[in-house]
């Protein structure tokens, strides 16, 4: 851990604070582990079971409650005001995407007179939300952005989407979802059969279509001995049942600490998005969090995402992955074959990926950028 000094004492309001399970908690932990823990405290829920924790707690003060349900909200307001006063918090930081934490942060700012910033781990207003949440997000997000001292977003796709939606009304600071210091650059190696295509991360509507296309492609490559390993703690039960007896697919769940080793042992790392109309904006802006982990794995990356997605454009522009940006199974087959057989091409992709990681995903550089914004 680094010990970067934050110039203002923060109260972080977040539903995703470690040790909560999930990728958002990982990104939160990686960023805030770089800071002097005496310069921030966290207002969050205590209901997370540590048995499913993604990361340990940060070495700062934790306070509860956090608005995990509507009935908790008023209690969260009064509790938050008490913490602001007792901790002498100078700035509030709302962390979230679809939870009530952003609204809570705004209300606490109004009532306490303290400025606030927003750290978005996903989009808010255009996310795939329930009817009530969608109404709140459409009303509240422009207000939240208008009065925020800073708006932090997780990638350039995120920034470009908001610039397209809001024009030049607001300014966004990109703080990338970086890997922690426990992930290390991995040496490249040659692929040998049986080949393993690996995906690490949750599977829901935003990835499911891409994963289904991969399964179809592998079933057509009968001359190659290929297995698909899906490492995920969250898979739709219907999807899992559908493919549980497939000889090509293995479903696994392991602690996050083992992911770097698993990724480095893959022959191809799969990075999919879906052709799904539930929220085109989610697909359009996403740079999946696992991208940063894949970049330093020493293994070739296969991006399978729509042509309108930032991920496809980004991968092509930076040259860190083979890209198939249409639902064309034969082209997906060709891409898989190329990554398993063309060693010089794979070496070029791996080199580009590591260079990109060094230039854009260095955790300390991003943390210092974040701190300087205050």
Cβ neighbors of 209 (< 8 A, separation 6 or more) are 272, 274, 275, 276, 327
If DSSP codes are grouped into helix, strand and coil, which group holds residue 366? helix
pLDDT tens-place values along the chain, 374 residues long: 568 999 999 999 998 788 887 778 888 999 999 999 999 999 987 555 444 555 688 999 999 865 554 557 888 899 999 999 999 999 999 998 666 889 999 999 999 999 999 999 888 888 888 888 889 889 999 999 999 999 999 999 999 999 999 999 999 999 998 987 666 666 667 778 899 999 998 888 899 999 999 999 999 999 999 999 999 887 888 888 888 888 889 998 888 888 999 999 999 999 999 998 788 999 999 999 899 999 999 999 999 999 999 999 999 999 999 999 999 999 999 999 999 999 999 999 999 999 999 999 999 999 999 999 98
Q: What is the pLDDT of residue 51?
A: 44
Q: 273 with 356, same domain?
A: yes
Q: 156 with 242, same domain?
A: no
**Domain for residue 85, yes or no?**
yes
**Domain for residue 281, yes or no?**
yes
Q: 203 with 84, same domain?
A: no
Q: 149 with 213, same domain?
A: no
Q: 105 with 212, same domain?
A: no
What is the CATH classification number for the domain harbouring 232?
A: 3.40.50.2000
Q: 170 with 200, same domain?
A: no
User: By C-alpha distance, which of 174, 167, 176, 159 is closest to 123?
Assistant: 159
Q: 84 with 207, same domain?
A: no
Last residue of one domain, picked from the residues 111, 146, 175 = 175
Bridge partners of 118, per DSSP, are: 94, 151
Q: 204 with 157, same domain?
A: no
Q: 241 with 98, same domain?
A: no
**Domain for residue 327, yes or no?**
yes
Domain range enclosing 73: 10-175
Last residue of one domain, picked from the residues 146, 175, 204 = 175
Cβ neighbors of 29 (< 8 A, separation 6 or more) are 18, 54, 55, 56, 58, 180
**Domain for residue 3, yes or no?**
no
**Domain for residue 189, yes or no?**
no
**Domain for residue 100, yes or no?**
yes
313 backbone dihedrals φ, ψ, rounded to 5°? -65, -45
Contact 178, 366 (CB under 8 A): yes
Q: 161 with 215, same domain?
A: no
Contact 291, 323 (CB under 8 A): no
Which pTM was predicted? 0.91
Structural domain total, the chain: 2
Q: 236 with 154, same domain?
A: no
């Amino acid at each position: 851990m680094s010990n970067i000094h934050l110039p203002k004492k923060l109260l972080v309001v977040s539903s995703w604070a470690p040790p909560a399970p999930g990728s958002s908690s990982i990104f939160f932990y990686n960023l805030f582990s770089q800071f002097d823990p005496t310069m921030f405290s966290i207002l969050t829920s205590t209901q997370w079971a540590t048995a499913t924790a993604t990361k340990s707690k940060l070495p700062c003060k934790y306070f509860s409650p956090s608005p995990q349900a509507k009935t908790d909200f008023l209690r969260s307001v009064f509790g938050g005001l008490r913490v602001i006063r007792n901790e002498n918090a100078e700035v509030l930081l709302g962390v979230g995407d679809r939870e009530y934490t952003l609204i809570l942060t705004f209300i606490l700012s109004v009532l306490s007179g303290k400025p606030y910033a927003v750290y978005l781990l996903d989009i808010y207003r255009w996310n795939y939300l329930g009817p009530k949440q969608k109404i709140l997000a459409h009303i509240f997000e422009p207000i939240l952005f208008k009065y925020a001292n800073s708006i932090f977003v997780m990638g350039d796709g995120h920034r470009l989407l908001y610039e397209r939606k809001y024009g030049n009304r607001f300014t966004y600071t990109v703080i990338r979802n970086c890997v922690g210091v426990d992930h290390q650059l991995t040496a490249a190696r040659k692929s040998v059969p049986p080949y393993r295509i690996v995906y690490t991360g949750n599977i829901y509507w935003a990835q499911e279509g891409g994963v289904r296309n991969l399964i179809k492609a592998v079933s057509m490559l009968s001359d190659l001995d290929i297995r698909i390993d899906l490492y995920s703690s969250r898979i739709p039960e219907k999807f899992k049942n559908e493919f549980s007896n497939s000889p090509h697919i293995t479903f696994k769940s392991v602690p996050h600490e083992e992911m770097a080793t698993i990724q480095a042992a893959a022959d191809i790392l799969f990075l999919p998005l879906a052709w799904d109309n539930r929220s085109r904006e989610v697909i359009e802006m996403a740079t999946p969090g696992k991208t940063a982990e894949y970049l330093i794995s020493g293994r070739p990356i296969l991006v399978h995402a729509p042509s309108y997605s930032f991920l496809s454009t980004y991968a092509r522009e930076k040259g860190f992955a083979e890209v198939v940006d249409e639902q064309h199974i034969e082209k997906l087959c060709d891409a898989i074959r190329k990554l398993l057989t063309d060693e010089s091409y794979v070496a070029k992709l791996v080199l580009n990926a590591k260079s990109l990681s060094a230039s854009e995903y260095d955790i300390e550089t991003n943390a210092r950028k974040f701190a300087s914004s205050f």
